[in-house]
């Protein structure tokens, strides 16, 4: 296949004539973003704050027990929980 027979000049001329044209700037009206949170969303925020306080307290208690060396784990309860989790995953 010979590509030398294809006349490229019209394509080059079209490109050159279009590349010299400038595009005028379009002034757009400035828009501001706005967020509206529903009442349900606001109530969920309050719920999460109250539940996090309880979790923070539990974590702080466990950390204190670990540092004091008084934290103990009930091996039977742990084993029972593991077995129940395995049973549920197999169902």
| Distance of alpha carbon 58 from alpha carbon 69, whole angstroms | 16
pLDDT band at 55 (very low <50, low <70, confident <90, very high): confident
32 in any annotated domain: no
Q: What is the pLDDT of residue 7?
A: 67
Give 60 or 15, the one with higher predicted confidence: 60
Q: What is the pLDDT of residue 75?
A: 92
Segment holding 49, helix H or strand E: helix 39-68
pLDDT at 36 over 70: yes
Q: What range does the domain containing 61 cover? A: 55-91
13 in any annotated domain: no
pLDDT band at 31 (very low <50, low <70, confident <90, very high): confident
Q: Looking at the 3D structure of the chain, how many domains does it have?
A: 1
Q: What is the pLDDT of residue 86?
A: 92
79 in any annotated domain: yes
């Amino acid at each position: 296949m010979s590509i030398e027979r294809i006349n490229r000049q019209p394509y080059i001329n079209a490109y050159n004539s279009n590349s010299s044209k400038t595009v005028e700037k379009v002034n757009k009206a400035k828009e501001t973003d706005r967020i509206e949170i529903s009442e349900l969303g606001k109530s969920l925020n309050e719920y999460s704050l109250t539940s996090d306080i309880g979790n923070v307290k539990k974590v702080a208690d466990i950390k204190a027990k670990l540092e004091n060396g008084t934290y103990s784990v009930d091996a039977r309860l742990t084993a029972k929980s593991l077995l129940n989790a395995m049973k549920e995953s197999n169902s």
